[in-house]
Amino acid sequence: MAVTSSSMMLLRNLPTVGRIAQSVRANSRIFSTGEIIRVLPRIASPRSISSTRAAHNEEAAAKAASDTGAPTIFDKIIAKEIPSDIVYEDENVLAFRDINPQAPVHVLVIPKLRDGLTTLGKAEPRHIEVLGQLLHASKIVAEKEGIVDGFRVVINNGAEGCQSVYHLHLHVLGGRQMKWPPG
């Protein structure tokens, strides 16, 4: 094998190359063709790019939102001022499909009357009944959607919990294998 100028440069800078190689191994795929080694960066799948972008947007929305007690988009959905794809409804609870689904089945379950329950962190003893109704409605949604044997219920609480709408809501997620740990 002939020593080329690039090979000499590589040998002179071996300590630096070693550090870079560790980084390359961690972040790239390495293919060897004869004497030339080409390093090709990992290419993120469109889904991972999309979910990274979506996660960032959700974080930004959560940081921008505030718990003012003012009417939310969910109040407009309850009042039927904004259309939604309703999955379940009774006198206390409304469940509808999320407009930005994170799973094949992604339904939001909300209390029709907020009563100060903007976050789970604000729950009081007077909210015990509606909290139980929300969980029971989540189970009904899972049955209707055919995912009762495997689903997840998530409540985001506050900005650090990525809550972007201050009207307590449960996310019912399913239709695919859930991963652990979440987040």
Q: Given the structure tokens 């690039």, which residue do they identify? A: 6
Q: Which residues are catalytic?
A: 169
Return d(Cα 54, Cα 51) in angstroms, integer. Answer: 5
In angstroms, the CA 56 to CA 64 distance is 12
Count helices and strands (H / E) in the chain: 5, 7
Rounded to whole angstroms, the Cα distance separating 156 from 102 reads 14
